[in-house]
Structure 1
């Protein structure tokens, strides 16, 4: 693979262009189909090859898709180097508004993080897909379905034992996301619905969706919440009020814990960033990676949500 990015998984080095240059000299003067192989697609078509550096920071819910798309994009555009980092939606929105990065990834609208309208005017919103989020529990938890009201009581500390919601007599360990997390904001908007968490209730917090998922998988009686893109067999996702956490139920808002995945850029992004955003909205990503990675294409939604959280039919 050509290209590189730094992610929560790995750093992939960029192959040097010297090898291609040597191959080009070796093939100089050759004719036929082999002669064309020395040229990149951009050069052969007369297009200027893309080059530049892109840093995307923010939502860990969007991170798996952004990483996968970046890897494919760099294979096709070896002159572009993309770094993908987490840190939470708040950090993504703040850093793009400050001009510190090229892309700020966020599960929430920038308006919820930036109060200064002049900051909002500096950036452009690019909604690239939908992400569903769900409560997850350790595999030893015996319930599969939970009432929304009971879920709220667990995350406000009112319910502290699984026996109170139909499970075994075992303590509940709540694992929250950090305060800047867009996943947490989305979850709390629906589940807590404005209910204040008592100051005396202090569950542990994790900075990333991946870490929260690992903690739930390894901690008896644990509960947290993650994006559908983090679902695996090491823990169990709960139904809420009998509704299954899946894409079909998100599309018509039967499952209410969901959000857009935003990739905020400068109002006038540089050429490489603009090309990457166009790639994110193209068929390779929207028709392939989005669903493969556990997200929902924009085209599948039967409803839409505004910055205030109001949902309406399309």
Structure 2
């Protein structure tokens, strides 16, 4: 049965236990508290001796001046209280004697007694008189019929001789519709427990059940299963900037969908798109199990490739940390990449030569940069190591690298280096910082707020050769990435999914023409 899961069993058990506990408490409120109860406890039972120190203690107490010196004297402190919910009147004591209760001290003789005066209960002292039966004989102490309101108490300090400390002490007597019983032993400063043992036990059990249920609910994966899992193998190629996102989504898909293998082999947007076109042309039937991810739309002349708009990706210009500039105008960026700015001091920066760290011709990140920011291509490559010119006539050093991570590490290592990258990878890199463009900060959050003025951004496309059948791994993974559980991965990597309200606007077909 589907409902017979661990969390459901714990939930039902907790509910039943709660109902039972409520019933028990209701019964307890209706039955037990109506009984009248007198409780007593021994709060102290100490030997006081006959030496000088104990003599000083006796004199300090000032209670037993007429008692003889006793080498075997003991001092007992008794607390008697009304621990029920109803008041106890003097006629609620059922004994035939004049007094109400009798305290019995095994093997000891009562030599003297003093009654304390509880705060707020001065009226109780009037009942401790010989006429009310208060007194002692041998090992017994007669306690008067003292009326007690709920939670009210009094204490008796009793001087004894003979016998050892710790010998049994009990109080006997009868209460109409109630009982006299011993309470938990406590020291004079202790307070009686606020809740009974039964109440504490029920509370602990309920708490454990609720915590267990909470752990089960939090720990379990509530994500709905991916739409239409498929088995088989799939290769995702293309953009290196979007590759970290695809790798994590692929790993998550493989965990969610057993029997699937998704390999990510990224080596540039254009190279990936052309590879897909070639594999599709060679296939005798159907669509190859390949997806090409591209930063921006595919080159013209590839009509057999079907597009799927996945997300809006934000890119950023980055400079070495030694270049302390934080903002450049689009006009200055164009001058940099035309070779018209050769030293950063020309833009108000440090005295460092400009070194352009670019991507190769297959890079979608480069193509987006040229299309969205420069409005034209970059100047010719002039360096293999990104530091020295191979062409002495070149205005500035410019090198080309194969991958986003490689470009970022080079900018961080080369003094005066400047380059470009996908935003999230750039934010995580060390030794470099981002540049604003015309005062606009590269930010996905700004796009979600409707600020579309930052220019260096592009739609991320996923291309297939034709439309793959719905039951294939290609189709399933595309759905997972663009509309299924993979959307969380896309967001985690700092991209704006096309399926979001703002993403739908930015991913509209006319967005590529703006």
TM-score when normalising by structure 1: 0.77
Are residues 107 and 152 of structure 1, via their aligned partners in 2, closer, same or farther at CA, if it must alter by over 3 Å? same
Does 2:446 match 1:243? no
Are residues 170 and 281 of structure 1, via their aligned partners in 2, closer, same or farther at CA, if it must alter by over 3 Å? same
Aligned to 2:314: 132
**1: CA distance, partners of 2:268 / 2:398:** 18
Instruction: Find the residue that maps to 2:485 and give its secondary structure.
Output: helix
**2: CA distance, partners of 1:309 / 1:284:** 26
Aligned to 2:468: 269
Asked if the contact 2:229/2:476 (under 8 Å) is kept, the reply is no
Runs of 4+ that moved beyond 6 A: none
Aligned to 2:164: none
Are residues 77 and 237 of structure 1, via their aligned partners in 2, closer, same or farther at CA, if it must alter by over 3 Å? same
Aligned to 1:58: 238
Asked if the contact 2:311/2:507 (under 8 Å) is kept, the reply is no
Does 2:225 match 1:225? no
Asked if the contact 1:61/1:229 (under 8 Å) is kept, the reply is no
Instruction: Find the residue that maps to 1:126 and give its secondary structure.
Output: strand
Q: For structure 1, which segment, 101-110 or 235-244, has the greater mean C-alpha deviation from structure 2 after superposition?
A: 101-110
Are residues 165 and 49 of structure 1, via their aligned partners in 2, closer, same or farther at CA, if it must alter by over 3 Å? closer
Are residues 289 and 152 of structure 1, via their aligned partners in 2, closer, same or farther at CA, if it must alter by over 3 Å? same
**1: CA distance, partners of 2:267 / 2:473:** 23
Are residues 48 and 255 of structure 1, via their aligned partners in 2, closer, same or farther at CA, if it must alter by over 3 Å? closer
Does 2:352 match 1:151? no
Does 2:290 match 1:290? no
RMSD: 2.5
**2: CA distance, partners of 1:196 / 1:219:** 20
Instruction: Find the residue that maps to 2:274 and give its secondary structure.
Output: helix
Q: Once the 2 structures are TM-superposed, how far is the Cα of residue 244 of structure 1 from its aligned partner? A: 0.5
Cα deviation, 1:1-48, whole Å, max 9, x if unaligned, reads: xxxxxxxxxxxxxxxxxxxxxxxxxxxxxxx869xxxxxxxxxx9x99
Instruction: Find the residue that maps to 1:98 and give its secondary structure.
Output: helix
Does 2:293 match 1:105? yes
Instruction: Find the residue that maps to 2:428 and give its secondary structure.
Output: coil
Asked if the contact 1:102/1:269 (under 8 Å) is kept, the reply is no
**2: CA distance, partners of 1:293 / 1:48:** 24
Instruction: Find the residue that maps to 1:60 and give its secondary structure.
Output: coil
**1: CA distance, partners of 2:493 / 2:264:** 16
Aligned to 2:134: none
Are residues 143 and 49 of structure 1, via their aligned partners in 2, closer, same or farther at CA, if it must alter by over 3 Å? closer
**2: CA distance, partners of 1:196 / 1:171:** 18
Pick from 265, 269, 280: which aligns with 1:85? Answer: 265
Cα deviation, 1:141-189, whole Å, max 9, x if unaligned, reads: 1111111111111112110111111111111111000011111010011
User: Which blocks of at least 5 consecutive residues in structure 1 are unaligned?
Assistant: 1-31, 35-44
Asked if the contact 1:109/1:307 (under 8 Å) is kept, the reply is no
Q: How many residue pairs get matched?
A: 262
Say which structure, 1 or 2, has more relative contact order (CA 8 Å, 6+ apart): 1
Are residues 163 and 305 of structure 1, via their aligned partners in 2, closer, same or farther at CA, if it must alter by over 3 Å? farther
TM-score when normalising by structure 2: 0.48
